[in-house]
Amino acid sequence: MRMRPPATEERRARLSDTSRVEAFSDGVFAIVITLLVLDVRVPDAEAGHLADGLVDQWPTYVAYATSFLYVGIVWLNHHAAFDRIRRTDRGLHWANLGVLATVALLPFPTAVLSYAVESDSSADARAAAVLYAIIAMLMCASWLGFFHYLDRHPELLEEDLEEGFFARERMRAIAGIAAYAVAGVVGFLNAPLAAMVIFFAVPAFYGATSQGLSELHAVMRVPGRPARRR
């Protein structure tokens, strides 16, 4: 079990419970996920061609569904992290604000990517893929800072948390940064569709491991096969 370093009385006085930061964070997630629908508009179609207009803006629907699921997955990861946090301090507040700032940006590159696909311009699609990759990398970097801070301040964590949990969680953030960097390069090299495959795959990975990297073993385990003894 992780040993907690003794905290000074002044340090204890600066610690607070997580209720306010969780409520604020949930409010941000709710606003972001609600505003996504503003990009879904009535098509500018001539009379008698509404059906065609609705079909033609399919990238907007894909962008909405993608952003909704992505923000939802980030919320699941955020919720899972705070299930393991007992107290907060000023540093954790700033780290959490960094995560929320990048989450609030997610609808923007998704809408740009949708516009680029609708415009049928290769140059626009490449630019949109690079923009999406950069902002997604920033989001993963904010999680890296969040996990790093928690690993350095075990006094904020639940007593029964397994040792090194958030140190391992940093690997998930680093993997996301690397994957999005690859996607940005691929998109820049005139393969935006391949980049979009990565954009879909990374959130799926984070969704499958929202409770931590240990979940990955359970996901990859073949049904019916007993776990390997160590």
What is the residue extent of each domain of the chain?
Answer: 16-220
What's the number of CA atoms in the CB half-sphere (13 Å) around residue 147?
A: 22
**Segment 37-79, tens digit of pLDDT:** 887 788 787 787 788 888 887 877 887 888 888 899 999 999 9
User: How far is Cα 90 from Cα 55, in angstroms, rounded to an integer?
Assistant: 49
42, amino acid identity? V
75, amino acid identity? W
Q: What letter would DSSP give residue 220?
A: H
pLDDT at 98: 96
pLDDT at 11: 54
Please list the residues that pair with 165 across neighbouring strands: none
Question: pLDDT grade, residue 94 (50/70/90)?
Answer: very high
**Segment 179-226, tens digit of pLDDT:** 999 999 999 998 888 888 898 889 899 999 888 876 665 555 545 554
Question: Which sign, positive or negative, has the C-alpha torsion 100, 96, 76, 17?
Answer: negative
